[in-house]
Amino acid sequence: MMITKASLAAAITTALFSSAAMADSWSITQTTTPGSATTMTQDGTTNGGVQAMNAMNSSTATFAGGQTSAMGSSALQLDQAGSTQSSTQAANYINATTVGASGAAVTQDYTGASTITLNQNSGTLQNNVQSVNTTNATTITNLTQGIGTTATTVQLNQANAAANTQTVNNAVAATDLTTVGQTATATSFDLNQDGAGAQTQAVNRAVGGTNVIGTVTQSTTGASTMDQIGTGVSTQALSMIEGIGVSSTNQTATGATTMVQGTTGTAVGAGSIQAGNYLKSTGTGVVASATQSLGTGSDALSFTQNDSGAGTIQAGNLMDISSTDAAAALTLGGQTISTTGTVTLDQNDTTTSLQAGNAIITAGANVGGSATQGLTAGTLLMTQTNGTGSLQAGNYLGVAPN
């Protein structure tokens, strides 16, 4: 048979397209079981490094299956130090094109009955990520992330001069974030944010891509203490979601909660955010349905805001749809704070800041929408001392002070 140039070219073209269509697809289970306390360290001039107990890494692959870090009664500690840049530390790590082949959930689980400690305390760290479970993908079709019910103290310590991120569960999509579930249960969560950097710190974090986020559920169970005292413009939350609109989200946090933003005589960076549950919709984003709830039983909920500057916000539940695009909207939203215990709001020496139990922030240019806000407490205490142009409310809807 004679092979012509035309038929050869066609064969080559077919082969190339077939190869592109057959990107690698894996269903894999990974388990790591250390027999003693484990410390992972990135130090010196580490740049672009990845350090994990379980890792799935491919810029072309589709992954299904799961990862488990089974710590038993052993502690886990992650340390980033020195001049580490653009690096990642995690117990379970995924980097892929697609996570959740054919809709089958990919799971990232951490089980353990001891402490979890994440430290980003060097002054020269930059653009780093620390997480227990972290996933980065073009498309996240179906993902569940969680830390087990026997974990004790979870402590996140962040004190540096540049932009870094620290989370327990972390999911970031470049295009589609379709279905994500994140859970974290511990005796207590202790979040400490200091330094001059534009830092991000959260127990659960989900970030969408260029398309509307699908369904995201996030929950934290356990007492929590949150201190945001750095001078950088930073964000701190138990659960946070950010994207160009969402279809359906549900964020819940139970347990006694204490939040402190700023210290006497030293203000946090103007525009810093501190919240129990936080949802931010950007651009033309429409939030079709979103619910947030904080507190249960007799949980004591205490919010203290000190020396905060313009545009700084502290809230138990926070939805931010403050896009200047007129198409932005909150179609249906619900925020609930419920406890038979005491809810305390204490605002001291602040300037054009906002402190609220429940807050929905607009820019005054949005389409609008529909929402319910409810705060139920055995005792409600509100104190505002030496403020200038600041706002304090149990339930708040409107523009942020600036």
- Of the candidates 196, 202, 192, which has an alpha carbon nearest to the alpha carbon of residue 162? 196
Q: What is the C-alpha to C-alpha distance for residues 170 and 164, in angstroms, rounded to an integer?
A: 13
pTM value surpassing 0.85: yes
DSSP one-letter code for 387: -
Per-residue burial over 349-374, b if 16 or more Cβ lie within 10 Å, else e, is: bbbbbbbbbbbbbbeeebeebebebe
Place of tokens 């700023």: 262
Q: Rounded to the nearest 10 degrees, how much is the dihedral formed by the CA atoms of 319, 321, 322, 325?
A: 180
Work out the burial of residue 379: count CB atoms within 10 Å of its CB; fewer than 13 is exposed, 13-18 middle, 19 or more buried.
exposed
pLDDT, tens digit only, all 402 positions of the chain: 444 444 444 443 433 333 334 468 899 999 999 999 999 999 999 999 999 999 999 989 999 999 999 999 999 999 999 999 999 999 999 999 999 977 678 999 999 999 999 999 977 999 999 999 999 999 999 999 999 867 789 999 999 889 999 999 999 999 999 999 999 999 999 999 998 889 999 999 999 999 999 999 999 999 999 999 988 999 999 999 999 999 999 999 999 999 999 988 888 899 999 999 999 999 999 999 999 999 999 999 999 999 888 899 999 999 999 988 989 999 999 999 999 999 999 999 999 999 999 999 998 778 889 999 999 999 999 999 998 999 999 999 999 888
Query: H helices within 52-123, ranges in order?
Result: none
Neighbours of 325 (CB within 10 A): 15
DSSP one-letter code for 5: H
Q: What is the C-alpha to C-alpha distance for residues 37 and 154, in angstroms, rounded to an integer?
A: 15
Neighbours of 247 (CB within 10 A): 16
Q: What is the C-alpha to C-alpha distance for residues 128 and 41, in angstroms, rounded to an integer?
A: 13
Alpha carbon 79 to its chain's center: 19
Q: What tokens does 263 get?
A: 């210290």
